């Protein structure tokens, strides 16, 4: 494992990974995109509603009941602005053919994924129909027309996505933080991907199980390089690059 202590990429010897860290990570984003999504986030934080969440994953680390305030869901389950911008930049760089997201929640990450690639289909899967419905309203408010929401269990939905012949450019795995589940989803994604696909896994240090899952994914024979930014792990299947595991402060 190679440690790069600088987010500009100093110490990284692979030209491809250096470009990802120094250019994609630091790419400028249209401030109107951030303003729109963060305005919707603030509106959801102020929301007084309560949802009966049908959580098909491991459940929230902070909210243990099915009855959850909308404000708490967006506070504790949505990606912070900083990482949303990274998702948007990665989407623009690698989204290409199609973007697949595991775990819509209230749609903050989905909007960041979709915002920089209006011509690219974004398929987002969510286990709870109530949160999916609320997220869909936010997508309309943001004027995003390239998002397709699928509700149900990831295991049931993935074969449908695969049967449509979709080879994703970018995959964001969130929504279920159980080790076995994450490894199973990654294996299925790897099977429907090619060398151009990039996979981002959220919350790799959330628990011991997630850390163990990330360690196994790093060692997968199909993986050619990884970047660990502590909260998220980024996986490449790209051919022609040296096999390294990078740790980058973001």
- Does position 2 have pLDDT exceeding 60, yes or no? no
What is the distance between the alpha carbons of residues 104 and 53, in angstroms, rounded to a whole number?
13
Q: Which domain does 84 fall in, by range?
A: 2-248
What is the distance between the alpha carbons of residues 174 and 185, in angstroms, rounded to a whole number?
10
Q: At what angle do helices 108-115 and 81-94 cross, to 10 degrees?
A: 40
What is the distance between the alpha carbons of residues 11 and 115, in angstroms, rounded to a whole number?
32
What is the distance between the alpha carbons of residues 34 and 196, in angstroms, rounded to a whole number?
27
The confidence score (pLDDT) of residue 4 equals 59
The confidence score (pLDDT) of residue 65 equals 62
Q: What is the CATH number of the domain that holds 115?
A: 3.40.50.150
As a whole number of Å, the CA-based R_g of the chain is 17
Report the DSSP beta bridge partners of residue 199: 171, 235
**How far does CA 119 lie from the centroid of its chain?**
19
- Confidence band of 241 (pLDDT split at 50, 70, 90): confident
The confidence score (pLDDT) of residue 56 equals 57
The confidence score (pLDDT) of residue 68 equals 87
- Confidence band of 27 (pLDDT split at 50, 70, 90): very high
Q: What is the pLDDT of residues 175-234, one digit of tens each?
A: 899 999 999 999 999 999 999 999 999 999 999 999 999 999 999 999 999 999 999 999
**pLDDT above 90 as % of the chain:** 80
CA distances from 177 to 43, 78, 109, 208 (A): 27, 14, 16, 10
The confidence score (pLDDT) of residue 3 equals 54
**Spatial contact of 241 and 16, defined as CB atoms under 8 Å apart:** yes
For the residues 158-182, what does the mean pLDDT come to? 94
- Does position 7 have pLDDT exceeding 90, yes or no? no
The confidence score (pLDDT) of residue 243 equals 86
What is the distance between the alpha carbons of residues 195 and 29, in angstroms, rounded to a whole number?
26
**Spatial contact of 86 and 111, defined as CB atoms under 8 Å apart:** no
- Any idea how long the chain is? 250
Number of domains the chain contains: 1
What is the distance between the alpha carbons of residues 131 and 126, in angstroms, rounded to a whole number?
8
**How far does CA 222 lie from the centroid of its chain?**
20
| Region of 194 on the Ramachandran plot (φ > 0 left; ψ -120 to 50 alpha; else beta) | beta
Phi then psi for residue 98, to 5 deg, are: -170, 150
């Amino acid at each position: 494992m190679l440690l790069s202590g600088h987010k500009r990429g100093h110490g990284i010897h692979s030209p491809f990974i250096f470009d990802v860290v120094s250019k994609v990570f630091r790419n400028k984003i249209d401030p109107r995109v951030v303003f729109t999504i963060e305005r919707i986030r603030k509106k959801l934080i102020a929301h007084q509603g309560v949802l009966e969440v049908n959580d098909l994953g491991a459940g929230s680390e902070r909210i243990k009941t099915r009855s959850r305030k909308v404000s708490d869901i967006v506070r504790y389950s949505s990606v912070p602005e900083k990482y949303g911008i990274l998702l948007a930049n990665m989407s623009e760089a690698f989204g290409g053919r199609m973007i697949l997201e595991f775990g819509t929640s209230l749609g903050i990450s989905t909007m960041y994924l979709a915002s920089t690639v209006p011509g690219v289909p974004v398929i987002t899967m969510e286990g709870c129909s109530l949160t999916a419905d609320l997220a869909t309203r936010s997508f309309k408010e943001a004027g995003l027309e390239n998002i397709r929401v699928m509700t149900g269990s990831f295991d049931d939905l993935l074969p449908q996505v695969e049967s449509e012949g979709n080879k994703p450019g970018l995959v964001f795995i969130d929504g279920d933080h159980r080790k076995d589940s994450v490894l199973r989803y990654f294996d299925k994604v790897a099977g429907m991907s090619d060398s151009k696909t990039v996979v981002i896994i959220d919350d790799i240090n959330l628990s011991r199980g997630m850390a163990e899952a990330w360690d196994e994914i790093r060692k997968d024979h199909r993986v050619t390089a990884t970047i660990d930014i502590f909260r998220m792990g980024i996986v490449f299947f790209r051919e022609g690059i040296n096999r390294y595991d990078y740790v980058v402060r973001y």
